[in-house]
Structure 1
Amino acid sequence: MAKLSRRQLTGMNFHYKHYPFEYFLDAMVRYELNNIEVWGASPHFYVENMSVQEIRNVKKEIDRRNLSVICFTPEQCVYPINIAAKEVDIREKSIDYFKKSALAAKELDSPLLLVTPGWGYENEDAKEAWKRSEESLEKLAQVAGELDLTLALEPLTRMETNIIHNALQLKLMLEGVNHPNLKGMIDTIPMALAGEDFTDYFNSMNEEIVHIHFIDGKPEGHLVWGDGVYRWKRILNS
C-alpha cells in the first residue's frame, strides 16, 4: 500500500467545530502534525466578523505552536454564498466574500484558498450557470494572482452543485478560465459518488491538482477513514 508521510497530512478544524479553536490547535500539536487547514466559519474564523487585528491574533496562536496553514477554506457550501448565482447582488456579494477571504489567507501565510463553483437553478440552461461560475472564477483568479495565492477549485457532490461534480467538469473549467493561479483539487466524497478514483484526476490534470480532502463517507459525510463504506486502501493505491 502507498505510504504517506506525516508532513503530507493536514488537520482541519471542521472536525472540531464543537470545541474552541485553540483546542483544535493544541490537538494538532499532540498529534504531531505540522500543517493545518483553516475552515473559515463561526465561531472559529469567520472573515465577515473579524478585523485584521483579530485575524493576526489568530495567526500568532498558530505560530506559537509552530504550525503552518497550507489552505484556507472559507465556509461556502451553505447560504448565502454562491459565485454562480443568477441574482447579480448575491453573486457580487459572494465574490466580495472571497476577496476578503483572499486577504485573510494572505494574513495566515496560506498558499492556497479553497473555492467551489457555486450552483445554478435546476430549471435553467446549465450553460448559463457554468458561464456565471467561470466569470466569477476569472475575477477571483486575478485577485489571487495579485496576492500570490493559488485558488484550489473543489468539485462538490451532485446534491451540492450542478456545475462541477466530476473530474471532466473540473478539467473543462480549469481550461476555460485558463489562469495560472487557478488549480484543481480532489474531495474523495464527490470523487467516489461520481464513480471515479484518483487516476481520473491525475491522468488528465496531473500537476494541476494541488490539494486533497481525504475523507470517508456512508456514502456522503466527513468521516474518519474506516468509519465509512469506501475501500480506502484501493483508492489510495489507485
Structure 2
Amino acid sequence: MSKITRDQITGMNFHYKHYPLEYFLDAMVRYECKNIELWGASPHFYVDELTLQDIKNIKREIDRRNLSVVCFTPEQCVYPINLAAKEDSIRERSIQYFIKSAEAAKELEAPLLLVTPGWGYENEDKKEAWKRTRDSLERLSAVSGELGLTLALEPLTRVESNIINDAKSLKAMLEEVNSPFLKGMIDTIPMALANEDFNDYFSILKDEIVHIHFIDGKPEGHLVWGDGVLPLQKYIDQLSQHGYQGSLTLEYTSYQYVQNPDEAIERTLDVLSGVLAD
C-alpha cells in the first residue's frame, strides 16, 4: 500500500489573495511545500492582463525559490467564464480564455490545466448544455495536446453547475470527449456533497484521476482540516489503498482565511502531521 506523504501536500494562493504573490511564494518555501497550484486571478496572475514577459518574470520568481507549479487553475467559477454557455459569444470568449491559460501553463511548465464544466440554464434541456461543454472540451483538449498539457476536469457542486457533479457524470464526459489529454480530478467538497468518497471515484475512473483538491468542509465550504466534519483518516487510508501519488492541493476559498493565510497553513500542517507518512 502506497503511503500518502508530506511532499504531496500542495499549496495554493487563493487564500493569499490579499497579499502579494511573492508573499505566497515565500510562505510556501517557509512551510516546505515543494509544489504549488497557481490560481490565476487578479492581482496575482490574471492571464488577460499579462504579457509573455510578465509570465516569464513570475516563472523566474517561482524558479528562484525552487518551487514547481503542478497545476495552473485560472479563475473560472464566476462571471464571465462558462464553457457551457448557450450564447455563442460567451462560450467562444471562454474557450479563448482557456487557450490563453493553456499557453500560460506551458510557460509555467505546469503539466496540468484545471477546467470546470460550466453550467446551462436551469430551464433548458440539460443535454444541450452537456453537448456545449463536450464540444468546448474537445477543442481545448486538442490545444492541450499540441502544447503537451493535460486538462484536469473538476466536478462542481450542484449550486455551481448542473452538468458534472459526481464520479459517474465525470466518467461519462471523459468517455464522450475521448482524448488522452483530458483526465479527471477530485475536489473533496463536491465529492462529499454527492455522498461519495475516494473509493467511488477510483472504482469508476481508476487511473483517469490526475489531481485532487484536498480540503475539509461541513460538508460545504473549502475549510482547513479540523474546521469541518469530513473524515480525514478515512480519506488518507483510501488514497493510500489506491496508490495515489499525485498532488493534494490545499484550496481554501473561504474568506475567513484571507486575513491570516499563514495561520491556515500552519493549522493544516499540524493536523496532517498526525496522518501522513514521513
Same fold (TM > 0.5): yes
Instruction: Name the structure 2 match of 1:104.
Output: 104
Map 1:126-205; keep pairs closer than 5 Å.
126-205=126-205
Give the drift of 1:204. Answer: 1.3
For 1:3 and 1:180, the matched residues in 2 are separated by: 27
What amino acid does structure 2 have at the position aligned with 1:220?
Answer: E
What amino acid does structure 1 have at the position aligned with 2:115?
Answer: V
Instruction: Name the structure 2 match of 1:221.
Output: 221
Give the drift of 1:218. Answer: 2.4
Instruction: Name the structure 2 match of 1:91.
Output: 91
Q: Which has the higher contact order (CA 8 A, sep 6+)?
A: 2
Partner SS, residue 114 of structure 2:
strand
CA contact 1:115–1:152 (8 Å) conserved in 2: yes
Instruction: Name the structure 2 match of 1:119.
Output: 119
Give the drift of 1:3. Answer: 4.3
Partner SS, residue 60 of structure 2:
helix
What amino acid does structure 2 have at the position aligned with 1:63?
Answer: D
The aligned length equals 238
Give the drift of 1:235. Answer: 2.4
Instruction: Name the structure 2 match of 1:19.
Output: 19
CA RMSD of aligned residues (A): 1.2
CA contact 2:13–2:37 (8 Å) conserved in 1: yes
Instruction: Name the structure 2 match of 1:33.
Output: 33
- List, as ranges, runs of 4+ consecutive aligned residues in structure 1 with deviation greater than 6 Å: none
Per-residue deviation, residues 70-124 of structure 1 (Å, max 9, x unmatched)? 0000000000000000000000000000000000000000000000000000000
Give the drift of 1:229. Answer: 1.7
TM-score, normalization by structure 1: 0.98
Identity of aligned residues (%): 74
For 2:173 and 2:220, the matched residues in 1 are separated by: 24
Please, which runs of 5 or more residues in structure 2 have no aligned partner?
Answer: 239-278
CA contact 2:38–2:71 (8 Å) conserved in 1: yes
For 2:139 and 2:232, the matched residues in 1 are separated by: 36
Please, which runs of 5 or more residues in structure 1 have no aligned partner?
Answer: none
For 2:136 and 2:26, the matched residues in 1 are separated by: 37
Partner SS, residue 72 of structure 1:
strand
